[in-house]
């Protein structure tokens, strides 16, 4: 079955992962790619390997530590290590750790706080909610291990699977 989408129906709007979320994913991917090295990795080394600004990276790593995704060691030879196996860390967890819940916008929920008081608004809120759920479910399918394998050529490259709705 072919792809029935046309170019004019593609939406390239603000449904996106933040810079902070992207940087968090890049930092943890770097740790996963170098997990076989002994000991923690310094923020400086992570910044050099990923091309990310070190001061911003330090803030992100603190948030990831608070979420239980990395552990840190202070002092000489200190740095960060993954707190769990790469196979146990989902992309959605990383994004949520630094950005909060994965949604397509801050629109509220249908049938709450007067959200259905205006013409047609309720059905749109339901659609935005479903879109956020699809995004969360999609990001749940990627583990840090699978991403690291793809990055090194040892695993399957991500590909798009589109859900066509005709309701």
Domain chopping of the chain, boundaries: 16-102+142-151
For the whole model, what pTM was predicted?
0.79
pLDDT single digits (tens) 57-100: 999 999 999 999 999 999 888 999 999 999 999 999 999 999 98
pLDDT single digits (tens) 104-125: 776 666 666 665 666 767 788 8
- The listed CATH number (3.40.50.300, 3.20.20.70, 3.90.1150.10, 1.10.10.10) that belongs to domain 16-102+142-151: 1.10.10.10
Listed in sequence order, the residues at least 6 apart from 45 whose beta carbon sits closer than 8 Å to its beta carbon are: 79
Q: Which residue in 48, 1, 46 sits closest to 25, CA to CA? A: 46
Average pLDDT, the chain: 83
Mean pLDDT lowest among 38-47, 144-153, 154-163: 154-163
**Residue 78: C-alpha distances to residues 39, 42, 52, 73 (Å):** 8, 6, 19, 5
Confidence at residue 14, expressed as pLDDT on a 0 to 100 scale: 47
């Amino acid at each position: 079955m072919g792809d029935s989408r046309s170019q004019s129906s593609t939406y390239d709007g603000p449904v996106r992962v933040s810079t902070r979320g992207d940087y968090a994913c890049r930092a943890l991917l770097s740790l996963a790619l170098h997990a076989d090295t002994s000991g923690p990795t310094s923020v400086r080394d992570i910044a050099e390997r990923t091309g990310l600004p070190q001061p911003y990276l330090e803030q992100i790593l603190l948030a990831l530590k608070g979420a239980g995704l990395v552990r840190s060691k202070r002092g000489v030879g200190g740095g960060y290590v993954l707190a769990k196996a790469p196979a146990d860390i989902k992309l959605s967890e990383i994004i949520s750790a630094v950005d909060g819940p994965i949604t397509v916008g801050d629109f509220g929920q249908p049938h709450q706080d007067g959200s259905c008081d205006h013409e047609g608004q309720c059905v749109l809120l339901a659609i935005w909610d479903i879109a956020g759920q699809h995004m969360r479910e999609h990001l749940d399918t990627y583990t840090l291990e699978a991403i690291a394998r793809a990055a090194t050529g040892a695993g399957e490259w991500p590909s798009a699977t589109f859900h066509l709705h005709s309701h």
